[in-house]
Amino acid sequence: MYIGEVDEDEYISWQPVEKDFYDFDSLEEDLGVRIHPSIIEYFIHIILPI
């Protein structure tokens, strides 16, 4: 994901990583909340596919 080393201004280059699977269950567990199914559908079908 990161490319190269941190420069003198403490910046580092990065490259996006494509994911085929989105695990909302672990996100819900980490946050301690339930995400409404309509929000999950929105992110899976509208936001994430570019």
Does 47 score more than 80 pLDDT? no
Residue the block writes with tokens 């999950």: 40
Bridge partners of 3?
13
- At 14-44, the pLDDT tens digits run 888 776 667 889 889 999 999 999 998 888 8
The pLDDT-based confidence of 4 (bands split at 50, 70, 90) is confident
> Please, which pLDDT band fits residue 48 given cuts at 50, 70 and 90?
low
CA 17 to chain CA centroid, nearest Å: 9
